[in-house]
Amino acid sequence: MTGIQKYLDRLVSVIAICLSLWHLSIVAGVGSYSTMDIRSIHLTVMLVLVFLVTKKSLIPNDVAGTTTETGAAIKKAPSRDSVNLFVRVALALISLATGIYTYLRWKPIAFSGGVTSDLDAWVGVVLIILVLFAVIRRIGFLLSLIAICFLAYPLLAPHLPDVISGRGYSLERVAIFMATGTEGIFGIPLGVSASYIIIFTIFGAFLNNFGAGDFFFRMASLATRGTRAASAKTAVIFSTLLGMISGSAAGNVAVTGTMTIPMMKREGYKPNQAGAIEAVVSTGGQIMPPIMGAAAFIMAEIIGIPYREVMKAGLIPALLFFSSILFIVHLRALKSDMAISADTGPADSLLSILIPGLRFVIPFALLIGLMVIGYSPFRASFVALIVLLIGCFLFEWRDLKNYVFKVLKSLEEGALAVLSIAAACAAAGIVAGVLSMTGIGSQISAAIIGISAGQPVIALGLTALMAIVLGMGLPTTAAYVILATVVAPPLVQMGIPNLTAHMFVFFFGCISTITPPVALASYVAAGIAGSDINKTSWTAFAYGITSYILPFMFFFGPALLMDGSAFQIILAVAVGLLSVFCIATAVVGYFLRPLGIIGRLVMAASGLLLMYQSMLTNVAGIALLLGVYILTKHRTASVPG
């Protein structure tokens, strides 16, 4: 089977490269495709790739065949690898056949006013099953189970208790609704995957393969050279820069952690502390503009605003997030009395780093500038990609073979990076489709309003809890879509601005990657650091505690989302920085000198008061901060030495 697998691996590479080129050609204006054309082709190829890419077995050990006590396979039973390979290829072929049928049938169905056949329904059932299998293969059982529960609702609604009962639908009706229009599987989430996300993952792959990560790391190292906790601050700045071009928390940990975590351990951080710091700062990549997590693009589509508005709203919260972890690593270094990092050799000059890095800086600045002046995100990223390719060619034209190899590798990796996101988006489309079809969303909204007694703060607390629980087992994209369609509407009904409600949900979906007991970013960081998973997860939770407070801050202070005058925004940022600083001191237990339990509680209270963003609470919070400062300063001065 090794030979066949090698052939399939090559086939996967060819398909992935062709898919990337096809998506880029659409952005370039080559060819004309309808929305449903793009989404159906995108999903079809993604399903084929999901089943062909070597991930994990679809066949359990006890099904694929038995073994003897010594582990030798019984010859009369097919080997696990061969059966698994056969199932994967079969599912890929079924995906291709289903996709071709859907592509050919959607126009006749639309032009006939919705006239369908029994075959349309059965193909719809097969497509739903394929999506569920793809989700299990790429993400896990939980999202698939949630989708199945939602699919079961329209079939069982008349037999459920009155609170959640509703009109029933046949399996045929459900399958056709999900698979033949743009309100089910081919809805907004998949549309975002096929238009925005894949273009940005291709752009990110090009940056990565041509050396942008190394450039960012050298810039971060130069900025922190000769400072206390230099390695940890390098990790924060590096992850901030990398987060601008990547929207994956676990992916950021895998890329940056291999460099930063060993550095932090050498500097004196414990393994769980080094892993926790990296997990937290990498999580910020999902909320850091201009390329935020995939859910941010879906947010723009659901709310109906340009992506640049989402990007603008996320800027200050992201900077506060990274500021808080900078405060924590610096205070931790002071508390542990870490020495200022010694210069181990001649430092690279700024120009020696910046001049070769212009091939990354110029496209990146162009990307931001084009989106600010009104270009669509995918058109802006396409133009930036062309400039990047030209710049890299000017630096690497002497080694043309390597240049072409990097281009092809980037096209392949860019497409494959979307597999999990596309599967999650298709499953999220099923959830959104059921809500649209049955109207149960209004019943859920009424229940949330009733439970919270119409109080926005209580509703936000319930929403935060739901987001964290869902995020423990789901990717941020799927968790956000479910919450945006179920929880965000009642928040808006209670008077919370639409963007604020969705940003609140988005934030908590993102930070679920560092929330125990299931904290994916912390797990990856713990593996690199060689530390205990649970200890690293809880340390990351403590270091990232500010991120659980930030969403409430921009509810109380809309200016943090750039909603207000220049004075209001500047004031909100200043108060926000004070708030996250106070909370950081409470977490670490250090402010000029180690703090006792009372001092930490007072600093935490100061931070929470400043979070409220009103004149009275601002004065009270600053008064508590000054009180702790004066007392601590006095005690420090009275200590001899």
Q: Is the pLDDT of residue 48 over 50?
A: yes
Per-residue confidence at 64, pLDDT binned at 50, 70, 90?
Answer: very low
161: helix, strand or coil: coil
pLDDT of residue 391: 93
Predicted confidence at residue 183, as pLDDT, reads 87
| C-alpha distances out from residue 378 to 243, 311, 358, 372, 381, Å | 18, 14, 22, 13, 5
What tens digit of pLDDT does each residue of 208-241 get?
889 888 888 888 888 887 777 787 888 788 877 7
Region 131-158: what's the mean pLDDT?
91
Lowest average pLDDT, out of 63-67, 593-597, 621-625, goes to 63-67
Tens of pLDDT, residues 357-386: 899 989 988 988 898 888 888 889 899 999
Tell me how far apart the alpha carbons of residues 317 and 502 are, in angstroms, rounded to a whole number: 14
184-212 tens-digit pLDDT: 999 999 998 998 889 988 988 898 889 88
Share of the chain above pLDDT 70, in %: 92
pLDDT classification of 248: cutoffs 50, 70, 90: low
Provide the mean pLDDT of the chain.
85
The answer to whether residue 545 scores a pLDDT higher than 80 is yes
- Residue 288, phi then psi, degrees to nearest 5: -95, 115
| pLDDT, tens only, 501-532 | 999 988 888 887 888 877 778 888 898 899 88
290: preceding bond cis by omega (within 30 degrees): yes
Which pLDDT score, from 0 to 100, does residue 332 have?
Answer: 85
Distance CA 12, CA 504 (A): 38
DSSP 544-598: THHHHHHHHHHHH-GGGGT-S-HHHHHHHHHHHHHHHHHHHHHHHTEESEE--HH
At 374 the pLDDT is 82
Backbone dihedral region of 638: left (phi > 0), alpha (psi from -120 to 50 degrees) or beta? Answer: alpha
Per DSSP, the three-state class of 73 is strand
The residue type found at 471 is G
Domain ranges of the chain: 557-641
Q: pLDDT per residue over 84-93, tens digit each?
A: 888 999 999 9
pLDDT in tens, 448-496: 888 888 888 898 888 888 877 776 667 777 778 888 888 888 888 888 9
End-to-end CA distance of the chain: 73
